[in-house]
Amino acid sequence: MLFPMILLWFAAFMAFALSVFARFLVELFLNSRIAILGSFAGFERSFNHGVAFGITFAPSLQMILIIGALCAVLWMAERGVHTLTEYAGFGLIVGGGLANILDRIGDGTVTDFIQVGSFPVFNIADCCITVGVVLLLWGMIINEWRQ
């Protein structure tokens, strides 16, 4: 049981560290848009006052919802994780969530910088959270298939 928890916290640490480091680099160097695939994809710094996909609530309610969601994820990880894939998924969600909370503390915004098509601009922490959710869904599908 020790190895899976180490995996969870390692994934959380790596997601957190990579997200914070990327934000640091963006704030230091990204002053104007950098096109990667013309106007379709690139790096463009923007500030997100909301939560997922820019949805906003009153600032105090928003922080309560974010911290509550993170606590719920930790509770679910503690109670219902069975596979290494699920441990890694929960770790990525926790690390990405903590990185976004840290980013939000200073001015109430999250720094986003990855632009793809018409999708809302996002950051590394958002990627980690998304990959974590995909891993959890994959784990659920595999568990259902095995039964």
Q: What are the pLDDT digits (tens) for 76-94?
A: 888 877 788 999 999 999 9
Is the pLDDT confidence value at 74 over 90? Answer: no
Phi first, then psi: what are they for 116, rounded to 5°? Answer: -135, 115
Cα(89)–Cα(77) distance, integer angstroms: 9
pLDDT tier at 143, thresholds 50, 70, 90: confident
Establish whether 107 is a catalytic residue. no
Establish whether 103 is a catalytic residue. no
pLDDT tier at 57, thresholds 50, 70, 90: confident
Determine how β-strand 110-116 pairs with β-strand 34-37: unpaired
From 8, 126, 136, 139, active-site residue: 126
- Between 64-68, 86-90, 111-115, the lowest mean confidence (pLDDT) is in 64-68
Where along the chain do its domains lie?
2-146
Residue 11: is it exposed, middle or buried by C-beta count within 10 angstroms (0-12/13-18/19+)? buried
pTM (2 d.p.)? 0.89
Q: Report the share of the chain in percent with pLDDT over 70.
A: 99
16-39 pLDDT tens trace = 999 999 999 999 999 999 999 999
Report pLDDT for 51: 83
pLDDT tier at 1, thresholds 50, 70, 90: low
Interior/surface letters 81-115, b for 16+ CB within 10 angstroms, e for the rest: bebebbbbbbbbbbbbbbbbbebbeeeeebbbbbb
The residue-averaged pLDDT of 112-138 equals: 95
From 22, 99, 112, 115, active-site residue: 112
Report pLDDT for 40: 98
97 contacts 125 by C-beta, under 8 angstroms: yes
- SS3 at position 104: helix
